[in-house]
Amino acid sequence: MKNRKALFGFKDLKVEVEGKEVVKGVSLEIAPGEIHAIMGPNGSGKSSLSNALMGHPGYEITSGEAYLSGENLLDMEADERSRAGLFLAFQYPLAIPGVTVANFLRAALKSHRGPDADMTDFRRLLKAEMKSLSIDESFATRYLNDGFSGGEKKRVEILQMSVLNPQVALLDETDSGLDIDALKTVADGINRYHSENNGILLVTHYQRLLNYVKPDYVHVMIGGRLVKSGGPELALKLEESGYDWVAEEVGQKAGV
């Protein structure tokens, strides 16, 4: 880990869903400028961790701590976490009929800036970010994610991130369901957002997104625990060999 003060982190975090423990005491720190990737098989707890950190009511944090810029996230409701600078791009973005993309983003940005904020730059900002993500301007007047393809939904998630410019972005399987062109466009948007002042936590099954968004650290999650960490080379090995070797290695270390 770099010798820098952590921007975002969690320690000994445990999460339950409908009374079942799905995250079993995980810890991680992200310093400014860092990109971390969490990889793991289906059902390992990756998405549960992301949703719990963002404050989704269906995911109960039963113990542990989480912080952003020194503030206790667990004392905040989901909207307060967002205003504090935490962002979650959903694996399955919801459609909101009746609410246009432009109105949704304007309301979200105004909530972040404050009720008396100057919003005269909003239209220019939105047009510029839509252009960079190859989103046609007509989408601004369409209802959020209503009738959108999988790739269009993911582009709009990255559009939200670009407009809100959070301190830390949690990207939950943003690459799922994308063809190669959409993947490259989404990756370009992530890389444009990333700077030495913010942090990214990528949750993914596959190496392919990491071909375009280069992580500083890769962590493997199995059975609700972070069981192995390394550099980008770890993701390449996982792509080549799968997760069984990690599970076997962890089992051997534990004396199983």
- Domains in the chain with CATH codes: 8-93+167-253 (3.40.50.300)
Specify the 3-state DSSP secondary structure of 256.
coil
pLDDT at 1: 42
Beta-strand runs (E) in 96-251: 96-100, 143-144, 168-172, 199-204, 217-222, 225-230
244 near 251, Cβ under 8 Å? no
Q: In what order do the strands lie in the sheet with 8-17?
A: 20-30, 8-17, 60-68, 71-72
Q: What is the pTM (predicted TM-score) of this model?
A: 0.92
Query: If the chain, 256 residues long, is cut into consecutive pieces of 10 residues, what is the mean pLDDT of each piece?
Result: 76 97 97 96 93 96 97 96 96 93 97 93 96 93 95 94 97 90 93 97 91 96 96 93 88 52
Cα–Cα dist 1/230, whole Å: 10
